[in-house]
């Protein structure tokens, strides 16, 4: 059984020598003589015993150890884990020194910051602070003007024989003293020069003495050197000042004669030769006045002059020569820009084909009017995946599209007269003038020079006064619907339709009037209906005319995209409802492939069109020759749509196979379907399922005796089989067999991590360190919050205590005053009753 607390206390006191046997008088006397040291040792021993017997002073293990073990840590760590009392008191003292002053200074502005030497240093005594301040003051005085050439040296001068060293004799007074050195007056400088000349004369006299009379030269002291430096500085300063004064005097002399010189110059410049006398008949004409102003003075109306002025201003604004132009680019720069433009267009097309969303900055802004596309418009049919209507180099110079057409002088005059006649009579003269100017500028932009008027080839109609178009009118009403268009085209031959369309577009250009934009939009929608109408007629219109009208629609679809796309979708809805394509519907599908990009992942017009074509081929059987022919054309359109994106259309292969097996085939239809098969084979040759797609077509081609296409398809199938790799297992790296023998570490340390992955070990260590620091920071923040709460509570209690004391004092004073007044009142009352 362990000893009790009392026994442990007695034994501890006995071990420290505090208690024990009774001491003799001699020992007590020695103990009294020991004095201060003995008492300090006794107090320290009692404090240690007190701490050792306090169960809350040390932090021990929760449970004592059951078995002995060996570790590299000292034994004390196994017994005492910490001293919470000391830690708490130290933290409290630290917060009182740091956090408490910050609390007291909170919400307070201003204050006095004491920066005196040693004032905030508790280790310095009063004498040390005084000495440090005195040394700093002396250093400041001594080193203030060491390098100041304008001030005298106030330091300690070197002396010889109890006298300061001077340049002159000892008996002569120095011309400049400490006050005169810093000055720069003329009198001081004169005295300095007199002194210098006197020294020079003395030196000359000394040179005449014999050599034995000369004194040996001694080394100059520091004070003498500094005085010489100051003297040289003052001499240079005087010379500069003298030169400055001379320059000022010379400048003043020159300024005195300047007015006379200027007067002579002005008289010479303003002198003009006398003009010859004008003849008598021309004396009334004033050649020094502006002709317009002279006409205005002669009686010309002010309103007419203002109109002419406005007309000239507009002409200046519209003059092409007034616009800045860029420098002419070299052929290499043009080729580089064209390559970059084509590359950017191809990147945009690939993004649309993959279905990636385009940002708003990449989208082309919608043009405001048709005129934006007239300037520099090129044949961009190739950008949308279609062949150009004209071979390169076959178009006339200056003609790129239906927007750039040629006109002769008769059409220009007729257009100008027609535009002027359209202007209402009630409009002002200024508005009519503006309208005529806009028409003339538009026709100037559209028409090339006369020397460039050449005959256009197929695809571009040349408007001139030849025999073919001499019967056509030069002005037509702009039709707003297909019925109105049929009325306008009633007396026009089929071959002249493109010419009439060009004239209508020129007369109702969007830049000529605000309403022309809506008129041209409705006119384009009517053209869409008209190409379907021309295809459904019997006999059908020539393909060249339909192609020219489609190119007109293509050109105007860029100016009015939404309205034309909506109108074409109406035709597609009709095709969806009937599911029986007519020649007009096939023409609309062909125009869609020419106008819009067919490689986009999704398009508002192209996607419904390809879906309807696939739907028809998937739901229709080739029961008639017409169906077989329609299927061949639709199949060619499908392949034409997918020639860039190369998307697979299973309905095409299915319908083509059925057509080759049908009994309604003709040699021409067999050739058309065979061509579709070869085009599809070339298009989908890189497809992994190429063998499965085209193998079923070998038997129908062999039955139709198509030898050359059959051989071509067989070669493509053989190449596909050679390039196809069979499915194999992955070649994995052989893994070693796991061993059951544990891995031992000779110098194992339980506090060390043995992770072979260094990055993972560092990450683990960093996470633990972060967790430990975070917990410590939160713990300190909680302690700070508790300390602040305690201080606020203490301040509140102090304020309440002071308030209660003040209140109690006031109450007692009031009660005492009331008692005195009451006693006084009672005495007066008793005195009145006695009377």
pLDDT of residue 323: 66
Reference 561, options 529, 595, 586; nearest CA is: 595
User: Pick from 598, 619, 640: which residue ends a domain?
Assistant: 619
Element (H, E) at 59: strand 59-60
> Which whole number is the average pLDDT over 603-631?
93
Percent of the chain scoring above 90 in pLDDT:
29
388 pLDDT higher than 50: no
Using the CB atoms, write b or e for 603-615: b if 16+ within 10 Å: bebbebbbebbbe
Element (H, E) at 333: helix 331-354
291-348: per-residue pLDDT in tens? 666 666 666 677 777 888 888 888 877 776 666 677 788 888 888 888 888 888 888 8
Please state the separation of Cα 675 from the chain's center in Å.
54
432 pLDDT higher than 80: no
812 pLDDT higher than 80: yes
Is residue 656 within 8 A of residue 631, CB to CB? The reply is yes
Reference 308, options 430, 138, 226; nearest CA is: 430
Task: Tell me whether residue 134 is in a domain.
Answer: no
Please state the separation of Cα 263 from the chain's center in Å.
63
59 pLDDT higher than 50: yes
User: Pick from 38, 57, 76: which residue ends a domain?
Assistant: 57
Is residue 40 within 8 A of residue 48, CB to CB? The reply is no
Task: Tell me whether residue 89 is in a domain.
Answer: no
pLDDT of residue 322: 62
pLDDT of residue 641: 93
Average pLDDT of the chain, as a whole number = 76
> Which whole number is the average pLDDT over 437-453?
38
Task: Tell me whether residue 634 is in a domain.
Answer: no
Using the CB atoms, write b or e for 706-735: b if 16+ within 10 Å: beebbebbeebbeebeeeeeeeeeeeeeee
pLDDT-derived band at 219, boundaries 50, 70, 90: confident
- DSSP states of 724-785 as a string? PPPP----PPPPPPPP-SPPP-TT--TTS---S-HHHHHHHHHHHHHHHHHHHHHHHHHHHH
Neighbours of 213 (CB within 10 A): 8
pLDDT of residue 335: 85
713 pLDDT higher than 50: yes
pLDDT of residue 367: 45
437 pLDDT higher than 90: no
In angstroms, rounded to a whole number, what is the distance separating the alpha carbons of residues 714 and 691?
10
> Which whole number is the average pLDDT over 233-247?
91
> Which whole number is the average pLDDT over 723-742?
79
257-281: per-residue pLDDT in tens? 888 888 777 776 655 555 555 444 4
Task: Tell me whether residue 169 is in a domain.
Answer: no
In angstroms, rounded to a whole number, what is the distance separating the alpha carbons of residues 681 and 694?
8
In angstroms, rounded to a whole number, what is the distance separating the alpha carbons of residues 567 and 532?
12
Q: Calculate Rg over the CA atoms of the chain.
A: 58
pLDDT-derived band at 678, boundaries 50, 70, 90: very high
Percent of the chain scoring above 70 in pLDDT:
70
> For residues 481 and 164, which has the higher predicted lDDT (pLDDT)?
481
Of the listed ranges 113-117, 337-341, 749-753, the one predicted with least confidence? 749-753
pLDDT of residue 297: 60
Residue 449: phi and psi, rounded to 5, are -70, 160
> For residues 745 and 123, which has the higher predicted lDDT (pLDDT)?
123
355-371: per-residue pLDDT in tens? 776 655 454 444 444 44
Total number of domains constituting the chain? 3
pLDDT of residue 409: 35
Instruction: Rank 41-45, 174-178, 772-776 by mean pLDDT and report only the highest.
Output: 772-776
pLDDT of residue 299: 63
Task: Tell me whether residue 408 is in a domain.
Answer: yes
pLDDT of residue 773: 96
Task: Tell me whether residue 5 is in a domain.
Answer: yes
Torsion angle of C-alpha atoms 406, 411, 415, 421, degrees rounded to 10: 180
Element (H, E) at 164: strand 163-164
14-58: per-residue pLDDT in tens? 888 888 787 788 877 777 777 777 788 888 888 888 877 777 777
Is residue 712 within 8 A of residue 678, CB to CB? The reply is yes
Instruction: Rank 377-391, 425-439, 484-498 by mean pLDDT and report only the highest.
Output: 484-498
pLDDT of residue 195: 57
510 pLDDT higher than 90: no
Domain span holding position 557: 347-356+367-619
Q: Provide the total of helices (H) and of strands (E) in the chain, helices listed first.
A: 28, 4
Reference 145, options 178, 168, 169, 183; nearest CA is: 178
> For residues 681 and 416, which has the higher predicted lDDT (pLDDT)?
681
- Residue 555 CB-density burial (10 A; 0-12 exposed, 13-18 middle, 19+ buried): buried
Whether a cis peptide bond, with omega within 30° of 0, leads into 438 is no
- DSSP states of 206-224 as a string? HHTS-GGGSPPP-PPPHHH
Reference 199, options 224, 178, 232, 169; nearest CA is: 169
> For residues 510 and 165, which has the higher predicted lDDT (pLDDT)?
510
Neighbours of 442 (CB within 10 A): 19
pLDDT of residue 676: 94
Neighbours of 131 (CB within 10 A): 14
Query: Which residue in the block uniquely carries the two structure tokens 């009198």?
Result: 187
Task: Tell me whether residue 74 is in a domain.
Answer: no
Element (H, E) at 202: helix 186-207
In angstroms, rounded to a whole number, what is the distance separating the alpha carbons of residues 592 and 532?
12
> Which whole number is the average pLDDT over 109-126?
84
In angstroms, rounded to a whole number, what is the distance separating the alpha carbons of residues 236 and 189?
11
Task: Tell me whether residue 593 is in a domain.
Answer: yes
Of the listed ranges 79-88, 330-339, 771-780, the one predicted with least confidence? 79-88
792 pLDDT higher than 90: yes
pLDDT-derived band at 674, boundaries 50, 70, 90: very high
787 pLDDT higher than 90: yes
């Amino acid at each position: 059984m362990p000893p009790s607390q009392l026994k442990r206390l007695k034994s501890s006191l006995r071990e420290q020598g505090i208690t024990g046997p009774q001491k003799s008088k001699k020992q007590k006397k020695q103990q009294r003589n020991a004095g201060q040291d003995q008492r300090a040792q006794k107090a320290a021993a009692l404090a240690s015993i007190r701490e050792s017997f306090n169960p809350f002073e040390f932090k021990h293990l929760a449970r004592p150890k059951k078995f002995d073990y060996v570790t590299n840590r000292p034994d004390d760590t196994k017994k005492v884990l910490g001293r919470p009392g000391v830690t708490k008191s130290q933290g409290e003292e630290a917060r009182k020194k740091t956090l408490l002053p910050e609390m007291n200074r909170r919400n307070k502005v201003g204050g006095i910051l004491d920066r005196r030497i040693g004032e905030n240093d508790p280790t310095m005594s009063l004498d040390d602070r005084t000495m440090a301040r005195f040394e700093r003051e002396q250093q400041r005085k001594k080193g203030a003007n060491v390098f100041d050439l304008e001030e005298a040296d106030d330091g300690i001068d070197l002396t010889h024989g109890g006298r300061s060293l001077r340049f002159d004799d000892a008996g002569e007074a120095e011309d400049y003293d400490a006050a005169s050195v810093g000055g720069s007056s003329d009198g001081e400088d004169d005295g300095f020069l007199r002194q210098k000349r006197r020294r020079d004369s003395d030196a000359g006299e000394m040179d005449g003495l014999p050599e034995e009379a000369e004194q040996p030269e001694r080394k100059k002291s520091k004070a003498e050197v500094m005085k010489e430096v100051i003297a040289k500085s003052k001499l240079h300063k005087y010379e500069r000042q003298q030169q400055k004064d001379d320059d000022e005097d010379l400048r003043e002399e020159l300024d005195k004669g300047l007015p006379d010189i200027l007067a002579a110059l002005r008289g010479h410049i303003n002198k003009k030769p006398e003009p010859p006398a004008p003849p008598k008949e021309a004396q009334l004409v004033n050649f020094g006045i502006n002709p317009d102003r002279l006409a205005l003075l002669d009686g010309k109306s002010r309103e007419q002059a203002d109109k002419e002025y406005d007309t000239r201003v507009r002409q200046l604004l519209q003059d092409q020569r007034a616009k800045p132009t860029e420098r002419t680019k070299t052929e290499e720069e043009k080729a580089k820009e064209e390559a970059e433009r084509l590359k950017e267009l191809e990147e945009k097309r690939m993004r649309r084909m993959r279905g990636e969303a385009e940002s708003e900055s990449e989208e082309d802004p919608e043009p405001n009017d048709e005129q934006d596309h007239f300037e520099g418009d090129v044949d961009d049919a190739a950008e949308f995946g279609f062949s150009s209507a004209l071979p390169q180099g076959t178009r006339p110079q200056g003609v790129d599209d239906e927007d750039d057409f040629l006109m002769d002088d008769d059409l220009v005059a007729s257009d100008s007269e027609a535009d002027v006649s359209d202007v209402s009579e009630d409009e002002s003269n200024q508005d009519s003038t503006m309208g005529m100017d806009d028409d003339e500028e538009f026709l100037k932009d559209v028409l090339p020079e006369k020397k460039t008027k050449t005959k256009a080839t197929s695809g571009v109609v040349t408007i001139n006064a030849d025999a073919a178009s001499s019967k056509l009118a030069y002005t037509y009403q702009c039709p707003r619907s297909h019925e109105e268009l049929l009325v306008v085209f009633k007396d026009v031959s089929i071959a002249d339709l493109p010419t009439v369309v060009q004239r209508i577009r020129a007369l109702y250009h969007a830049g000529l009037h605000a309403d022309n934009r809506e008129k041209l939009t409705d006119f384009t929608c009517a053209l869409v209906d008209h190409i379907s109408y021309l295809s459904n007629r019997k006999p059908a219109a020539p393909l060249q005319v339909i192609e020219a009208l489609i190119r007109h629609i293509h050109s105007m679809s860029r100016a009015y995209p939404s309205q034309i796309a909506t109108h074409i979708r109406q035709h597609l809805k009709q095709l969806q409802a009937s599911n029986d394509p007519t020649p007009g519907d096939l023409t609309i599908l062909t125009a869609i492939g020419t106008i819009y990009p067919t490689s986009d992942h999704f398009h508002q017009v192209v996607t419904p069109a390809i879906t309807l074509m696939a739907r028809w081929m998937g739901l229709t059987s080739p029961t008639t020759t017409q169906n077989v022919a329609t299927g061949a054309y639709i199949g060619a359109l499908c392949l034409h749509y997918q020639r860039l994106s190369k998307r697979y259309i299973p309905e095409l292969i299915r319908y083509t196979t059925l057509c080759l097996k049908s009994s309604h085939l003709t040699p021409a239809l067999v050739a058309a379907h065979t061509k579709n098969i070869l085009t599809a084979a070339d298009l989908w040759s890189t497809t992994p399922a190429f063998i499965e797609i085209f193998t079923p077509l070998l038997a129908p081609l062999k039955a139709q005796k198509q030898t050359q296409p059959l051989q071509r398809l067989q070669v493509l199938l053989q190449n596909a089989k050679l390039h196809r790799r069979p499915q194999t297992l992955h070649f994995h790296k052989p893994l070693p067999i796991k061993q059951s023998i544990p891995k031992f570490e000779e110098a194992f340390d339980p506090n060390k991590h043995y992770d072979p992955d260094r990055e993972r070990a560092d990450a683990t260590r960093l996470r633990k360190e972060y967790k430990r620091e975070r917990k410590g920071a939160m713990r300190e923040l909680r302690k700070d919050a508790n300390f602040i709460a305690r201080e606020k509570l203490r301040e509140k209690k102090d304020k309440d205590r002071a308030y209660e004391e003040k209140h109690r004092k006031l109450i007692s004073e009031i009660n005492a005053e009331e008692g005195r007044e009451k006693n006084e009142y009672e005495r007066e009352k008793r005195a009145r009753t006695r009377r």
